Structure 1
Amino acid sequence: MPDKFDRINSRYEQRAKRRKTNIILNTLIAIVLILILIVGGSIFLTDSKTEKEMKEAAKTEAQTAEKQQSSDKQDTTDEKEETDEESDEQEVVEKESDEQNVEKVIIDPAWEPVGTEQTGHQSSYQMGSIDWNEKEKAAAYAIGISPENMTNWWTKGGANPDSQAIMTVSESSKPNEAYRVYLEWVDGEGWKPTEVKKLIENDKGQE
């Protein structure tokens, strides 16, 4: 009888040991699986976070570059506008003169050629010709009136008659307020005032 009980006890002990071993193994396997899930999840989250950060960094960099480009463009525009304003705001020079019958000399840096209808250019001192009319237009522009309201008292060529002209003119209603206007020809653009002398007396209106 004792031998039989011993064998039975031995079987129970072996089964108990196997059960314990299985429990331990299953526990270890479960722990390993949990660790794998934790590590894998951590890696996935890190990669996802890194990718998101990279996208945000790229987006921020693109926005910064766009703002910088816009700022550079604005700076260039502002500089051009400032240059244009400085050019437009150049002061008119008015100075007294010791020249006989000249009250003052006027030079306006903003004067421009008045345009031309001519193809090529040949200076004409014939009243009513296209070139004559364009000379009168430039003289009227120089003293700030329209050609229709101007009287041309006298016109002659300058040092180079083909490209320079001198005119004595006044507003039609003010014949005693005369001006001597100096013009020069700009190819393709027409006659341009270079200097105006305000006369004390209309020395050509008395002739």
Structure 2
Amino acid sequence: MGSVFAATAALLLIVAPASSATTPSPTPSPSATQFTNSISGFLRGDDRAPIPGVTITATSGDFTGTTKSGANGAWTIGVPTQGTYEVKLDESTLPQGIKLAEGQENPRNVTFSQTSNLSVIFTFGKGIVVEQQNFMQNLLNRLVAGLSFGLLLALASVGLSLIFGTTGLTNFAHGEMVTLGAVLVFAFNQMHLPFWLAVILAVIGGGLFGYVQ
């Protein structure tokens, strides 16, 4: 049954039109291959053109890692441990005519959060103003994200409990069914269907797939 789900998901993702934009891989620094954790990003101007040859430094305690952005504007600095690092972009290495956006913090402190790769974005361009989020705004955003994720877990748990309570059986494919719903919504939405229609079709598709099981 797992192979049937995998084949269905793969078929839907193939049918769904792929995005025309491609994201280049970051250019690693010599230290990036020495550590499992890394800090990376892409440097692009206000015209979306890559900015190569810019020096970026990450510092924490006795550790200092330095790299330069590649031809595609990507950069990566390998770091020994997760934690808080000060990331600084050397503005003197920027090409002539390119400046950081007004309000862009540099250097800036960044902290790893449940990931081995930390992405850092620097904004460039005249007339662009970067507004730094304060503590309360960050707290509110995290509360909303946590509430959304908690509701998703609760919904999945209620479904699993309902199935066990009515049939006396544990549905080991319940997690796959929840994932299938998300994949169906994504696939239908990528087919340029309205979001509300994608949700309805995903509910129908999930119900049919559950009936087959």
Larger gyration radius, structure 1 or structure 2: 1
- Bin of the TM-score, shorter chain as denominator length: under 0.3
* Greater helix fraction, Structure 1 or Structure 2: 1
Give the number of the structure with larger relative contact order, counting CA–CA contacts within 8 Å between residues 6 or more apart: 2
TM-score calculated relative to the size of structure 1: 0.25
